[in-house]
Structures are given as C-alpha cells and as structure tokens.
Structure 1
Amino acid sequence: MSSMFVVIIGLLGLAVGSFLNVAVSRVPAGRSVVRPGSACPGCSTPIAARDNIPVVSWLLLARRCRACRVPIPARYPLLEALTGLLFAAEALRFGPSAVLPAALVFTAGLLALAACDAELFLLPLRLVYPTLGLTAACLLAAAAATGQWYRLGVTAACAVGAFAVFFALHWVRPAWLGFGDVRLAGLLGTGLGWFGPWYLVLAVVGGSFVGLLMGLGLMAAGRMTRDTRIPFGVFLAVGAIAAILVGAPVVHWYESLSDPYANATGVPFTTVGHRP
C-alpha cells in the first residue's frame, strides 16, 4: 500500500468532514443538506468556494465570517480534521480492501451522530438510518467481493443482539438510556459485527468505561452532578471507532486466553470474523 493512497483517503475525509458539518447543523432542524448552499448563519451570505476549504479557510479567515465577522464555531475545523485523520488511519488499517468503504461510511456516520449528541443530546433518525443502510450495503458489497458471506450472518446477529440488550436496559430503566442509544446500538452491531462479536463488546465496554471516567472526573471537579445528562452516544461512538482501529490486538489476546492451541502457539485456532 502506498502512502499516496493514505493521503488521498485522508483528503477525502476532510471533504466528508465538511459535509458532516452541514448535516450536523441542518438535520436536527429538519432542513435539507443539499439546498440551499452553505451560508453564514449570522448574515446568510453564501459561502464562496475559496472560503469553503476544510480547516484551511477557517484559519485564513481568522475564525470569522468574511462578511459579518461573526465567529465560526471551532466544531467546523475540528470535525473536518478529525474525519480526515480517522479516514487516513483506517486506510492504513485496512488498505485498499473490500471492507474499507464500510468502515469509512460507518465512521463518518458515527462522527456526525456524536457531534449531534454532544451539542443537542440528540441522535437523529435521519442520520442513524442512512448510516445503517449505507454501512449494510457496503458490507454486502464486501461479502460479494470476498466471498465471506458468513460475516453477514455474524453482523446480523450482532445488530439484533445489541439492539435487544439496549432495548431491555431502556425498558427496565428509561433514565439510563434514551431510545436513540438503543437505535445506535443496532448501528454499532452492524458496523462492528463484520469483524466479530468481541469487537462490539469491546466498543460498548470501552465506551462506557471512558464515559464513566469522564463523568467521575467532572463530578469531582464540581462541574456536574448525578442528575446531569451525559451524551452517551458520544462515548459509544468513541468505543466503536477505537475498536475498529486498535481492537484487533485486544480481541486476539482475549481469544488466546481461552484457546489452548493459541496458548501454545500464540495464534488463535479460531477467530470469528477472521477465518483463514
């Protein structure tokens, strides 16, 4: 794999990040992401092409609209840069493989949902369902290209299982989880099931642990209480993306603990989602 491929995918991520900013700003309000074109929310002046370059334009404009000088939120360059970096990291992780498009679509959708949850405590259906559908379509194409149809069965089982577990938690104690998190769990099962169920477990446990640590830290600092709402979707998204990028060593290590053959050779005898 050439470094040029990684750079190209990273640049694609910057462009996708710019689109995600539009989606985050418009979808929760029920507006179209296509029309009208991008404009300053302060003065409604259309944004020229020269002022719409991801990250660079924000820096050159000194973080303000060219026309009215209203500050441009830092979320715009941060989401663009993060999308570009994660796309490049996944290009390194998977190379030009059949599963890369699914990973990129899944990651982009999670970033948009996390941004909405962080700002509005909302996981819009108009983002969840398109991400779910596009991810599933890309995985179907990956299965057709590689002949690994068994992975689709694991994916479906993970999606249904994650949805069912989160639905049960929501039903028992609605204060613990909003129903948006239940739908998000189904999306996580779809995006991670291709790699194996332990990736899904790692994402949920890891994301929950990060959320717990942050919550305890904010409580210790006096910046939140037990009744303060937490955008749990943000931490689930963090856990899922981390599982995709760095979960393989953890999953392989865990599988080796329960596999006598792996304990002797260092290689798991069977690995769900990684058959020889």
Structure 2
Amino acid sequence: MSFDFNAYAQVFPFLAIVLGLVLGSFYNVCVHRYLTEQSIVFPGSHCPQCDHPLAWYENIPIISFLFLAGRCRYCKASIRWRYPILEALSGLWSYALAITFGPSLAYLLFMVIGGMYLVASFIDLDSFILPDIITYPAAVIAYLGSVFILDASPVLSGAAAVAGAGLFYLLNLLYRLSRGFDGLGLGDVKLMVSIGALVQLVGLPFSVLYASLSALLVSPFFLIGKKNKSRTPIPFGPFLCLGAMLYILFGPGIFSFLR
C-alpha cells in the first residue's frame, strides 16, 4: 500500500496542534525549572507548592488545568495562568506553521526556533533575563537553518545577523549615553542575532516594526499601578520574538492581512 502524502498533508495541521500542545507542556517545565534553578529532568512533574508528584492525567495540556479548575488537587494552591497560556500559544504556533509550510523541513526549523523563543519570552517576562543557554544556540540554529533549509545566502544571513545585533547594541549605547542607564539589555542584542539570520535583511525592519507596535499595544498593562512609569522596566525580548514569528508567518503583508 503506497503512502498517500496528500491525505497526510490534510491531517498534518491537526497533528501539529497536538504536537504543539505537548511541547508547550515541556516548555512550561523549561521555564519553571530555569527560574527555580532546577534540572529539567529530575525530579518528575510535581506541584511547585507542595511538591506532590503529578499523575499523567494531571499533565494533559490545557485540559488538566480546566479539569482541576486551576488548582492543585492536593494542596489546592493556584496554578499559574502561564501554564495553559504557554501551551495554547505553542499549539497555535505549530498549527499556523503547519498551515503555512506543511510537513517540511521549514516547519521543523521554525518549530524549534519558535519553541526557543516561547521559552525565552516567558523567562524574560518573569525575570527580565534572556538566557544565554537559549540565545546562543538559537543563533547557531537560525543561521544554519537559513542557509541549509531556507537556501539563504551564507554571506547575507551573516550580514543580517550582525545587522540585527549591531542595531540594538547601538540603540542601547545611545540610550545609555543620553539617559545614564541601559534601555535595552544585552540579551536583546544576542536575541537579534538569531532573528536577523532567520528573517534576513529584508525582514529585519518588518520584524522590529511588528515588535514595536506590539510593545506599544501591550506596555500599558505593565504600567498599571506603577508610580514611576518612566522608570518601570518592560521586557522587550518577548515582543522581538513575536515580531519575528509574525514575519515568519505573514512576511511584510501582515497589514494587508488585517484589512
């Protein structure tokens, strides 16, 4: 019996959702274990409040959160909304990639990079840190993937990576000289290496634009209840990741898509 690729391609987006949700559950482990400085392997899944081991049916993405009404079954402590949100975003990302690229190496590349961006974003939102353990490998994977999977020019990919990082390093330097403190972290600079290599020179302006517009829309929520709004730090890494992911999906045509 021959393999029916067309039939598989039609089912693939639904399989991608399941894969994305499962990976989202793992991403939550990565975020939590990084923030608490624990191994992602040991111990097994457990409640962060009472340390009670979780059964398999308490680890089903999104469904378990809803079934448990957002609380631990043992100590009744609240489960952070980060868990279902990250799982849902991972599932949505996987589905969107499946619709856009189908079962391909490009899908695989963007799933890996997108997963790293999701983990880095949620760590940044909590700690204002973009971990080197994510930004450095992401830069290597983005460059190699753009060259060997997306057939981009090695020279232009390298130039885009340098341009992305250099732009944000220059912005940080100018901000420090004018205001006396850093406006952007070096983590953002390192993140831009992978973003530049991935979206290329033509995609950099659009990715930064998408990131900036997203930050403008969401930043007021970070300032609620803050007395000194001008000095309240807002992590920009998640918005840079979002800008790159939007460009990957929609390219420069997102504005026409919204019309």
Question: By the TM > 0.5 criterion, same fold?
Answer: yes
Alignment partner of 1:53 out of 55, 60, 83: 60
> What pairs with 1:109-148 in structure 2 (closer than 5 Å)?
109-139=116-146, 141-142=148-149, 148=151
Partner of 1:38: 45
Partner of 1:267: none
Q: CA deviation at 1:217?
A: 7.6
Partners of 1:29 and 1:184 in 2: how far apart? Answer: 22
The answer (yes or no) to whether the contact 2:147–2:153 under 8 Å persists in 1 is no
Say whether residues 1:172 and 2:188 are aligned partners. Answer: no
Q: CA deviation at 1:139?
A: 4.1
Say whether residues 1:156 and 2:158 are aligned partners. Answer: yes
Residue type of the partner of 1:232?
F
Instruction: Note closer, same or farther for the CA distance 1:29–1:130 as it changes in structure 2 (3 Å cut).
Output: farther
> What pairs with 1:214-253 in structure 2 (closer than 5 Å)?
214-215=218-219, 225-249=229-253
Q: CA deviation at 1:37?
A: 1.2
TM-score normalized by structure 1? 0.80
Higher mean displacement: 222-231 or 49-58: 222-231
> What pairs with 1:89-108 in structure 2 (closer than 5 Å)?
89-108=96-115
Matched residue SS, 2:64:
helix
Residue type of the partner of 1:169?
L
Instruction: Note closer, same or farther for the CA distance 1:86–1:125 as it changes in structure 2 (3 Å cut).
Output: same
Partners of 1:218 and 1:43 in 2: how far apart? Answer: 30
Matched residue SS, 2:156:
helix
Structure 1: gaps of 5 or more residues: 253-276
Partners of 1:90 and 1:31 in 2: how far apart? Answer: 31
Alignment length (residue pairs): 244
The answer (yes or no) to whether the contact 2:12–2:98 under 8 Å persists in 1 is yes
Partners of 2:131 and 2:95 in 1: how far apart? Answer: 27
Partner of 2:212: 208
Q: CA deviation at 1:178?
A: 0.9
Partners of 1:32 and 1:136 in 2: how far apart? Answer: 28
Partner of 1:184: 191
Residue type of the partner of 2:134?
L
Structure 2: gaps of 5 or more residues: 1-5, 177-181
Root-mean-square deviation over aligned CA pairs: 2.4
Q: CA deviation at 1:14?
A: 0.6
After superposition, give the CA deviation of every residue in 1:200-250 in whole Å (9 maximum; x if it has no partner): 22111221122134446876x775611111111121111111111112536
Residue type of the partner of 1:76?
Y
Partners of 1:108 and 1:155 in 2: how far apart? Answer: 21
The answer (yes or no) to whether the contact 1:27–1:126 under 8 Å persists in 2 is no
The answer (yes or no) to whether the contact 2:164–2:192 under 8 Å persists in 1 is yes
Say whether residues 1:70 and 2:77 are aligned partners. Answer: yes
Partners of 1:249 and 1:215 in 2: how far apart? Answer: 24
Partners of 2:159 and 2:188 in 1: how far apart? Answer: 18
Partners of 2:207 and 2:46 in 1: how far apart? Answer: 37
The answer (yes or no) to whether the contact 1:105–1:135 under 8 Å persists in 2 is no
Instruction: Note closer, same or farther for the CA distance 1:226–1:11 as it changes in structure 2 (3 Å cut).
Output: same
The answer (yes or no) to whether the contact 2:143–2:194 under 8 Å persists in 1 is no
Partners of 1:122 and 1:44 in 2: how far apart? Answer: 26
Instruction: Note closer, same or farther for the CA distance 1:132–1:84 as it changes in structure 2 (3 Å cut).
Output: same
After superposition, give the CA deviation of every residue in 1:33-64 in whole Å (9 maximum; x if it has no partner): 12221111111011111111111111111111
The answer (yes or no) to whether the contact 2:168–2:189 under 8 Å persists in 1 is yes
Alignment partner of 2:89 out of 72, 77, 82: 82
